[in-house]
Amino acid sequence: MPRPEILETFANPYSDRDYEIHMDCNEFTSLCPLGGIESDAEELAQLTGGAPDFGIIRITYVPAELCLELKSLKLYLWSFRNDGIFYERAVNRILDDLAAASKPKWMKVVGDFNLRGGIKSVITATYGAR
Amino acid sequence: MPRPEILETFANPYSDRDYEIHMDCNEFTSLCPLGGIESDAEELAQLTGGAPDFGIIRITYVPAELCLELKSLKLYLWSFRNDGIFYERAVNRILDDLAAASKPKWMKVVGDFNLRGGIKSVITATYGAR
Amino acid sequence: MPRPEILETFANPYSDRDYEIHMDCNEFTSLCPLGGIESDAEELAQLTGGAPDFGIIRITYVPAELCLELKSLKLYLWSFRNDGIFYERAVNRILDDLAAASKPKWMKVVGDFNLRGGIKSVITATYGAR
Amino acid sequence: MPRPEILETFANPYSDRDYEIHMDCNEFTSLCPLGGIESDAEELAQLTGGAPDFGIIRITYVPAELCLELKSLKLYLWSFRNDGIFYERAVNRILDDLAAASKPKWMKVVGDFNLRGGIKSVITATYGAR
Amino acid sequence: MPRPEILETFANPYSDRDYEIHMDCNEFTSLCPLGGIESDAEELAQLTGGAPDFGIIRITYVPAELCLELKSLKLYLWSFRNDGIFYERAVNRILDDLAAASKPKWMKVVGDFNLRGGIKSVITATYGAR
Amino acid sequence: MPRPEILETFANPYSDRDYEIHMDCNEFTSLCPLGGIESDAEELAQLTGGAPDFGIIRITYVPAELCLELKSLKLYLWSFRNDGIFYERAVNRILDDLAAASKPKWMKVVGDFNLRGGIKSVITATYGAR
Amino acid sequence: MPRPEILETFANPYSDRDYEIHMDCNEFTSLCPLGGIESDAEELAQLTGGAPDFGIIRITYVPAELCLELKSLKLYLWSFRNDGIFYERAVNRILDDLAAASKPKWMKVVGDFNLRGGIKSVITATYGAR
Amino acid sequence: MPRPEILETFANPYSDRDYEIHMDCNEFTSLCPLGGIESDAEELAQLTGGAPDFGIIRITYVPAELCLELKSLKLYLWSFRNDGIFYERAVNRILDDLAAASKPKWMKVVGDFNLRGGIKSVITATYGAR
Amino acid sequence: MPRPEILETFANPYSDRDYEIHMDCNEFTSLCPLGGIESDAEELAQLTGGAPDFGIIRITYVPAELCLELKSLKLYLWSFRNDGIFYERAVNRILDDLAAASKPKWMKVVGDFNLRGGIKSVITATYGAR
Amino acid sequence: MPRPEILETFANPYSDRDYEIHMDCNEFTSLCPLGGIESDAEELAQLTGGAPDFGIIRITYVPAELCLELKSLKLYLWSFRNDGIFYERAVNRILDDLAAASKPKWMKVVGDFNLRGGIKSVITATYGAR
């Protein structure tokens, strides 16, 4: 289960200037949900051949008062490791959780997922206007 | 024969937000039509030296109420495997079929085909306004 | 001598939609003109050390009623093989010939030529407004 | 069904010198066999989601009296397009067929297949000693 | 816990010829063991910041009577997903398990792991003589 | 401690024309601050395992009356070598120092930092309007 | 000493159409000036360790009535070989000389210089409006 | 017609030491022979669609008393421009001509040809023992 | 000062099999010694413009009874950060220290250093016979 | 004129161990000799269009008692800047000069020169046996 409560922030040290923070999190992994059910899919996956998903989560934002703390962000992304979740939902969920925690002026989350069945998927969602 | 009836969709889990879904389908193959006739070209190809075509189909869309289901999309693209079809027609046909099935706010289909006779072709067609 | 009369077209199968066709022709070759004279430079080149030119011709267009037929395009480009012609003239000439044959809504021709004397040249010409 | 009878050869023009011929055939495709049965898997694949396989066939040989004719080699490789065949069998079968047709001094066939389920396979088989 | 009992094999279809099978498994992940204890490290990792490990497992072998079945190999490698295990042990353990299951003439396993703390590790172990 | 007093400038030799100067400084290194304290972190880092940070500082500006002198810029960037400083602060600090020294019409500083814990960070800050 | 008098032009063969000419001159070299004095630095450089500079000069322009002749452009750029000149001055000087010789509608000159002391410099200057 | 009589040599300036000279000639072009007839194929090619061939000729040799002069080598390779010749014959012919002209201790010629019909060919022939 | 006393080892978990461990340490930095004196060069460097050195240390070994512990290896390499040391001495010193700590069957250390004054250096030293 | 008297050496700090030093000198430039005369070709080149040559000099050696000092090596290579010299002579000359200065156990010099007239040259010469 994604654990947004892990996310920590710190005061933006240059809050009087709009600037951009970009992070590529190269080792995101979750599980492909089975039967559309978003639950702990680990045991089922090993029995049935459901595929773990791998990808890169790319986050870009313009901070307002708060910056995302990197270590807690890493822990938050690890909390997807044993969840079954669709790409579309994962990317929008991450955007919602990060925006709720850091209240940025603008934020974009891109999920750049590895090839599955010969198809590569990239999902892009945005919060706020630039 | 392309089989659009294979295409399946699911309800967009975040339909209140405009976001973008991009898919690269790396292993598209069809047959080069002979004499301009769009029919089953397999037997002719083996006798006459007509060339199979290979390429990447790149799909980008902003979903409205429906998302394209990946496995059915893969099966739909496989259904071109033994058809003779021109590049221009294939790309526009795929756009028509995917847009009819998923009724997106906006969609783009790019056919990025392998070298033939020293010429690489890329066809781009768009549905709706962004 | 360039032979535009070789060019063939076929009816645009989706003429009610504006879409884009791009072609990279990777193996264009002509001869460097000697003394600025645009004529058959082959014999002179072998005697004097004039350099054959190599490059990629990149063509992009939005078709109106007609599409360029690929095989005839290939033959047309081969017809420069033994002509002496400057880069600037070659690219504009190709644009003129292709636009005359296919009457597109918009067309761009790029000549992306190999290094000569440590200098790489890229010439870009456009027909119509987008 | 693979059709080795399509393969043609021509007399090695320099048979008094050992030299090497290498060919990369970039667009090999076959079907993944279902239930281990090596038969026409096309219909089943479309119904069940069996995956077409894609890869590069790399051939290297030292000709004796005969060289493989390229166009017939291309047609021979196309004849796997609608067959269900395992990687291991495909590579060894191609080696057997090509060696039988051209009787080389030495030959190597490599099947360099695309990612399937996150796994890339490369099979290498050799005929004769170098 | 690694589950070698998942591994399946099939009869080598060309057992009279020595040939080589190579597989790159691009999405291997396990957990970094904590305190040197090789156990289920998942819960600890989330609390303490222990790092999941990611890498590519490269397997090369010359089959004797048996070939490794790909889908079962994939499931076997997935079974490391929630185990805490050192690189050196993981690679040697995979070699032992695969060699026990398929009894090859020769086998090599390479663990090509992602950067950790600015250091990239590659472990190579071999079974039998070539 | 960053030492902006090292920075030197010279008179812009073409101050009547707006032009752009871009510099990539490939070997920036500082220390990761411990406990959020921005002080000399060297000794602590060696005892506790705190990580040195590495990255590229990319500077782009349109000079007004002054240009930044390269050698002094290099010395200025070296002065971060043994300081503990957060990414966000380092990039904004460099922008402040360089803008104060050279009073450009416009300036952008990008900190493109190496992977830390599987996450790559890129910070971009801008001074003035273009 | 730069020798703009070497530059030659020829009549633009398609002056009724705006098109773009781009040239990358990959082997530009000059000498780093010593003590800020722009003079023949060759002898000094060999005695003191002053560094030759290397880079790529990228030229893009829309010709009006005249095109730059390539061979004379090459000779002109060679004329910087033994001069001591700063990057900023070199790029603006080249732009001035080329614009004076060819009177283009628009021109851009980019000096893309090799790493010096761990810093890569790129200078961009423009003439006219596009 | 290949013209080996163009080839010139100069005295090896370091003939008392075995050293190696390697040249990549990136712009080799000839014509694909029609009907197996090795003759001037130019006119036929333009009428029938026979394909020009493009490739890289890679030459490596250890000179004895003579070195190949580069400009004459370039002219010699240009002399294939309008000949119809098979890959196998071209590579062996070039090796014969260059070895006859320069009498090297050892020589290798590689013809690394562009994709034709989805197949890339590389031919390697050697003269003398190393 | 390099601090070999930081290095830790652990018992080789598969000591009955010869296998290879390779590590690329991408972020090695030291200081260029001034006047050939190997001492703390930090202060001098900042005053005089002496250059910090950056590079990759590549370590390969076949363990006997002991394996190098990664975290301590990282700390050991950090201990060069503020020392002035020549490339040749650094690589041989690292080899001596690592071999003394881990007593491997064979070990190789490569120092792959960044460009300095247009020259890239790579130093390779080996311990024991393979 | 090449100036070998510039070359300096220092005592090999680890002379009891055979190890390898490799250097890539990326910015070598000389002048193409005119009429085969090896003299100062600068003035002629500017008048006639003779081409400056650019390339990479790659040096590998196993030191005996002496190591080559980098800064003096750089100055030595700069001393070719305004000389007309053939590739073959330049590489062998550099090998002779460096071997005379440093008396290595083994040395290799590679001259990897830029494209000239569509031909890339690489010359390799070796001193001593490995």
> Residues of chain J whose pLDDT is less than 50?
36, 39-42, 44, 46-49
- Chain F residues close to A24, C-beta within 8 Å: 119-120
Taking CA–CA distances from I53, the nearest residue in chain G reads G118
Tell whether the model's pLDDT for residue B47 goes beyond 70. no
pLDDT reported for residue B55: 96
Strand ranges, E, within chain A = 9-11, 20-31, 52-62, 66-68, 106-113, 119-127
pLDDT reported for residue G49: 45
- Chain C residues close to B118, C-beta within 8 Å: 25-27, 74
Distance CA I52, CA F77 (A): 11
Chain A meets chain C (3+ C-beta pairs below 8 A): no
Q: Which of J125, J85, J120 is nearest to H20 (CA)?
A: J125
What number of other Cβ atoms are within 10 A of residue I33's Cβ?
19
Distance CA J18, CA J28 (A): 28
pLDDT reported for residue F61: 98
Q: From the candidates F5, F42, F46, F77, which should be mutated to test the interface with I, based on the most I CB atoms within 10 A?
A: F46
Q: Closest CB to C92: pick one of G10, G17, G26.
A: G17
- The rounded percent of chain B whose pLDDT value lies above 70 is 87
Strand ranges, E, within H1-130 = 9-11, 20-31, 52-62, 66-68, 106-113, 119-127
Taking CA–CA distances from J19, the nearest residue in chain I reads I125
pLDDT reported for residue A48: 43
- Chain F residues close to E118, C-beta within 8 Å: 51, 54, 114
Name residue H67's beta-bridge partners. H10
What number of other Cβ atoms are within 10 A of residue A47's Cβ?
11
- The angle, 0 to 180 degrees and rounded to 10, between the axes of the packed helices D87-102 and D70-78 is 150
Contact criterion met (CB < 8 Å) for A51 and D115: no
Contact criterion met (CB < 8 Å) for D46 and B78: yes
Distance CA B128, CA B107 (A): 7
pTM of the full structure:
0.92
User: C-alpha I65: how far from its chain's center?
Assistant: 21
**Active site amino acids of D:** 32, 53
Q: Would you call H27 an interface residue with chain J, using a CB distance cutoff of 8 Å? A: yes
- Chain I residues close to E129, C-beta within 8 Å: none
Q: How confident is the model at residue E34 (pLDDT cuts 50, 70, 90)?
A: low
Q: Tens of pLDDT along C6-18?
A: 999 999 999 999 9
Largest CA distance in chain E: 54
Chain J neighbors (3+ CB pairs < 8 Å): C, G, H, I
Mean pLDDT of D58-78: 96
Contact criterion met (CB < 8 Å) for J75 and G49: yes
pLDDT reported for residue F50: 56
What is the predicted ipTM? 0.88
Contact criterion met (CB < 8 Å) for H74 and J120: no
Size of interface A-E (CB pairs under 8 A): 41
Q: Give the H or E element holding residue E70.
A: helix E70-78
Q: How confident is the model at residue H41 (pLDDT cuts 50, 70, 90)?
A: very low
Length of chain D: 130
- The rounded percent of chain D whose pLDDT value lies above 70 is 87
Question: What's the average pLDDT block by block, 10 residues per block, for chain F (130 residues)?
Answer: 92 95 96 60 48 94 96 93 90 98 98 92 95
Q: Is residue G53 flagged as an active site residue?
A: yes
- Chain G residues close to I31, C-beta within 8 Å: none
> Which A residues in the span 91-110 are in contact with E, Cβ-Cβ below 8 Å?
none
pLDDT reported for residue B32: 81
| F32-71: burial string, b at 16+ Cβ within 10 Å, e else | bbeeeebeebbebbbeeebbbbbbbbbbbbbbeebbbbbe
Q: Would you call H121 an interface residue with chain C, using a CB distance cutoff of 8 Å? A: no
Taking CA–CA distances from I87, the nearest residue in chain J reads J21
Work out the mean pLDDT of chain G and round it to a whole number: 88
Taking CA–CA distances from I115, the nearest residue in chain G reads G118
CA triplet J68, J69, J73: central angle to 5 degrees? 85
Tell whether the model's pLDDT for residue I88 goes beyond 60. yes
Size of interface C-G (CB pairs under 8 A): 55
Q: Would you call J82 an interface residue with chain G, using a CB distance cutoff of 8 Å? A: yes
pLDDT reported for residue A38: 53
Work out the mean pLDDT of chain E and round it to a whole number: 88
Q: Tens of pLDDT along I14-23?
A: 999 999 999 9
Between these two residues, E50 and B9, which has the higher pLDDT value? B9
pLDDT reported for residue I77: 95
Tell whether the model's pLDDT for residue I38 goes beyond 80. no
Q: Would you call J36 an interface residue with chain I, using a CB distance cutoff of 8 Å? A: no
Q: How confident is the model at residue C1 (pLDDT cuts 50, 70, 90)?
A: confident
Work out the minimum CA distance from H13 to partner chain D, whole angstroms.
31
Contact criterion met (CB < 8 Å) for F114 and I27: yes
Contact criterion met (CB < 8 Å) for E119 and I67: no
Q: List Cα–Cα distances, H45 to C71, F79, H30, in angstroms.
A: 13, 67, 11
> Residues of chain G whose pLDDT is less than 50?
36, 39-42, 44, 46-49
From B36-45, C25-34, J61-70, the region with the lowest mean pLDDT: B36-45
pLDDT reported for residue B1: 74
Q: Sign (positive/negative) of CA torsion J81, J82, J88, J89?
A: negative
With beta carbons less than 8 A apart as the criterion, state whether D83 and D30 touch: yes
pLDDT reported for residue D39: 47
Contact criterion met (CB < 8 Å) for E118 and I12: no
Q: List Cα–Cα distances, G86 to F124, F125, G1, G47, J79, in angstroms.
A: 28, 28, 13, 20, 22
Helix-strand-coil split of chain J, %, nearest 5: 25, 40, 35
Q: Closest CB to H51: pick one of B51, B54, B117.
A: B117
Q: Would you call J29 an interface residue with chain G, using a CB distance cutoff of 8 Å? A: yes
Q: Would you call A117 an interface residue with chain D, using a CB distance cutoff of 8 Å? A: yes
Q: List Cα–Cα distances, D45 to B7, B41, B81, F32, in angstroms.
A: 16, 19, 11, 54
Q: How confident is the model at residue I100 (pLDDT cuts 50, 70, 90)?
A: very high
Backbone φ and ψ of E106, nearest 5°? -155, 145
Tell whether the model's pLDDT for residue I29 goes beyond 70. yes
Distance CA F3, CA F5 (A): 5
Work out the minimum CA distance from A51 to partner chain F, whole angstroms.
22
Amino acid sitting at position C50: G
Spatial CB neighbours of A84, under 8 Å, sequence gap ≥ 6: A30, A31, A32, A33, A34, A37, A38, A39, A40, A41, A45, A50
Contact criterion met (CB < 8 Å) for C119 and G17: no
- The rounded percent of chain B whose pLDDT value lies above 90 is 72
Work out the minimum CA distance from B104 to partner chain D, whole angstroms.
26
pLDDT reported for residue G76: 95
Distance CA B111, CA F26 (A): 38
Decide: helix, strand or coil at residue I12: coil
Q: Would you call F89 an interface residue with chain A, using a CB distance cutoff of 8 Å? A: yes
Work out the minimum CA distance from A10 to partner chain E, whole angstroms.
19
Q: Tens of pLDDT along B69-122?
A: 999 999 999 999 988 899 999 999 999 999 999 999 999 999 999 998 889 999
Catalytic hit among C16, C18, C25, C32: C32
From B37-51, E65-79, H53-67, the region with the lowest mean pLDDT: B37-51
Q: List Cα–Cα distances, D49 to A33, B78, C48, D81, D122, in angstroms.
A: 18, 10, 63, 17, 23
Contact criterion met (CB < 8 Å) for G118 and I117: no
Q: Closest CB to A24: pick one of F88, F89, F119.
A: F119
Q: Would you call F49 an interface residue with chain A, using a CB distance cutoff of 8 Å? A: no
User: C-alpha D35: how far from its chain's center?
Assistant: 22
Which residue stretches of H24-103 are H helix?
A: 42-48, 70-78, 87-102
Contact criterion met (CB < 8 Å) for G27 and J52: yes
Mean pLDDT of E26-46: 65
- The two tokens of residue J81 are 């800047």
Mean pLDDT of A12-21: 96
Decide: helix, strand or coil at residue D64: coil
Backbone φ and ψ of I52, nearest 5°? -65, 150
Tell whether the model's pLDDT for residue E35 goes beyond 80. no
DSSP 8-state symbol, C7: -
DSSP for J67-85, written as a single string: EE-HHHHHHHHHTTTT-B-
Q: Closest CB to H124: pick one of D20, D25, D71.
A: D20
pLDDT reported for residue D124: 98
Work out the minimum CA distance from C104 to partner chain G, whole angstroms.
17
- Chain B residues close to A115, C-beta within 8 Å: 26
Q: Would you call B114 an interface residue with chain H, using a CB distance cutoff of 8 Å? A: yes
User: C-alpha C70: how far from its chain's center?
Assistant: 13
Q: Closest CB to E27: pick one of A46, A52, A71.
A: A52
Strand ranges, E, within chain B = 9-11, 20-31, 52-62, 66-68, 106-113, 119-127
Mean pLDDT of I69-94: 93
Q: Which of E107, E105, E103, E116 is nearest to E33 (CA)?
A: E116
Q: Would you call F48 an interface residue with chain E, using a CB distance cutoff of 8 Å? A: no
- Chain E residues close to D116, C-beta within 8 Å: 70
pLDDT reported for residue I43: 52
Between these two residues, C78 and J38, which has the higher pLDDT value? C78
- Chain J residues close to H26, C-beta within 8 Å: 115, 118-120
**Active site amino acids of F:** 32, 53
With beta carbons less than 8 A apart as the criterion, state whether B24 and B78 touch: no
- Chain E residues close to F117, C-beta within 8 Å: 51
Q: List Cα–Cα distances, J73 to E74, E100, J108, in angstroms.
A: 54, 56, 15
Work out the minimum CA distance from C38 to partner chain H, whole angstroms.
19
Work out the minimum CA distance from B77 to partner chain D, whole angstroms.
10
Contact criterion met (CB < 8 Å) for E122 and I19: no
